[in-house]
Amino acid sequence: MNWRKAVAVCLGGLMPSAVWALDGVSLEAGRGNNSVDMVRIGAQWKMKRPVFKLDNNWQISSYVDVTAGYWRADTIAPSQNSSLVNLGLTPTLRLSRGDGPGFFLDAGLGMHLLSHTSITSRTFSTAFQFGNHLGVGYRFGGRQSYELSMRVQHLSNAAIKRPNGGINFAQLRLAYHF
């Protein structure tokens, strides 16, 4: 299955939001090591109650992020892989001032599956990878439906098999909440 079909299948699965009871959708773009560009779509399900309430309306809430992404490198040697598809599942914690507008911090740790174990000269010894991210963003708009955030993400296999190449991304994320 090529990457266009994989993304189309994932987008098709996101369409009936009432059936899936989605809380939000997202679009991310970023740049990683070895000049690897990435785009990713996601669907989010928010936990109904905060994990922990702090003073002055600050809270720690959580959501689950299911994503499908595509990575591409422009400059490669003839024998190197130039692209791959990435599927992910990431529980995320958010520090914010309630559910209203304003700044937030995100931290997540999840699992990813890669369609290939290499891109450019970067080699991953397993298709299964762990991913963690830290981000800062701002929620805004009518009903606080929009959010814009910057993230730093690291993917690697956590040394379950050597070599443990890993890759880092800087990302920009736009999300819409239903």
Q: Are 133 and 153 in contact (CB under 8 A)?
A: yes
**How confident is the model at residue 76, as a pLDDT?**
74
Nearest CA-CA partner of 99 in 145, 64, 133, 65: 145
Helices (H) and strands (E) in the chain, counts: 2, 11
Q: How confident is the prediction along the chain (178 residues), in pLDDT tens digits per residue?
A: 555 555 555 555 555 544 458 999 999 999 999 899 999 999 999 998 999 998 878 999 999 999 999 999 987 777 788 899 999 999 999 999 987 899 999 999 999 999 999 888 888 999 999 999 999 999 999 899 999 999 999 999 998 998 888 999 999 999 999 9
C-alpha distances out from residue 77 to 81, 82, 97, 141, Å: 8, 9, 48, 46
**Number of domains comprising the chain:** 1
Here the CATH number for the domain that contains residue 114 is: 2.40.160.20
Which domain does 109 fall in, by range?
A: 3-177
- Structure pTM? 0.85
Tell me, rounded to whole angstroms, the distance of Cα 51 from its chain centroid.
21
